[in-house]
């Protein structure tokens, strides 16, 4: 009687020990899994952000293929006709044409004095702003800014198109 009682309580002890070990193992694996999921989800959200950014840049780049800006002297998808852009900037018929809150062409290389372009200072200027309203998120893309030059025929500089997208807030 006493023997069976002792072996039964020892058995219970064993089961308890095993239960504790199993519990500890489960908690350990749960912590490891949580840690891993946190790290993965963190990098996923940054990946999504980066993809959105890349997509926006591709959209901005498409501006260079708009007929109003396209450089037709050579087969160049990345080129903008700066002469056309200057004419468009002063054309009142195009005031309501741009369905974006912000559109600007910016010259990067060679560096010139930071000022808005007009017929008097062109091409020694740095920016052409077509539209600028309130409340936008801007993205930019590199383009070549080409124009006709009296000395060297056609001349291309490096620039950027800055395009604003309406912010949802």
Separation of CA 70 from chain center: 23
- Measured CA angle at 116 (ends 113, 122), to 5 deg: 75
CA angle centred on 57, ends 54 and 63, rounded to 5°:
155
The SS3 of residue 79 is strand
Which among 108, 99, 109, 102 has a CA at the least distance from the CA of 129?
102
Q: Which two tokens stand for residue 78?
A: 């990345």
Q: Is the Cβ of residue 53 or residue 133 nearer to another protein in the bound state?
A: 53
- Chain residues binding another protein by CB under 8 A are 21, 25, 28-29, 32, 35-36, 39, 43, 50, 54, 57-58, 61, 76-79, 108-111, 141-144, 146, 151-159
User: Which of helix, strand or coil describes residue 80?
Assistant: strand
- Which CB, 103 or 141, lies closer to another protein? 141
Report, in Å, the least distance between residue 169 CB and another protein: 25
Q: Which is nearer to another protein, 13 or 87 (CB)?
A: 13
Q: How far is the CB of 143 from another protein (least distance, A)?
A: 5
CA distance 137 to 157: 26
Report, in Å, the least distance between residue 90 CB and another protein: 25
Closer residue to another protein in complex, CB, 6/77: 77
Whose Cβ is closer to another protein: residue 78's or residue 100's?
78
- Nearest distance from C-beta of residue 62 to another protein, angstroms: 11
Closest distance to another protein from the beta carbon of 80 (Å): 10
Q: And the tokens for 164?
A: 């604003």
């Amino acid at each position: 009687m006493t023997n069976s009682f002792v072996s039964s309580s020892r058995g219970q002890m064993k089961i308890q020990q095993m239960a504790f070990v199993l519990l500890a193992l489960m908690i350990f694996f749960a912590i490891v899994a949580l840690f891993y999921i946190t790290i993965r989800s963190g990098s996923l959200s940054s990946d999504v952000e980066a993809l959105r950014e890349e997509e926006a840049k591709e959209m901005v780049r498409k501006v260079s293929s708009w007929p109003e800006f396209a450089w037709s002297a050579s087969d160049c998808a990345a080129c903008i006709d700066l002469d056309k852009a200057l004419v468009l900037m002063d054309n009142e018929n195009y005031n309501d044409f741009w369905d974006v809150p912000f559109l600007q062409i910016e010259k990067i290389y060679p560096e010139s004095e930071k000022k808005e372009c007009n017929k008097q200072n062109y091409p020694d200027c740095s920016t052409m702003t077509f539209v600028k309203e309130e409340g936008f998120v801007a993205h930019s893309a590199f383009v070549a800014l080409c124009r006709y030059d009296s000395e060297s025929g056609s001349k291309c500089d490096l620039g950027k198109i800055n395009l604003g997208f309406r912010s949802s807030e």
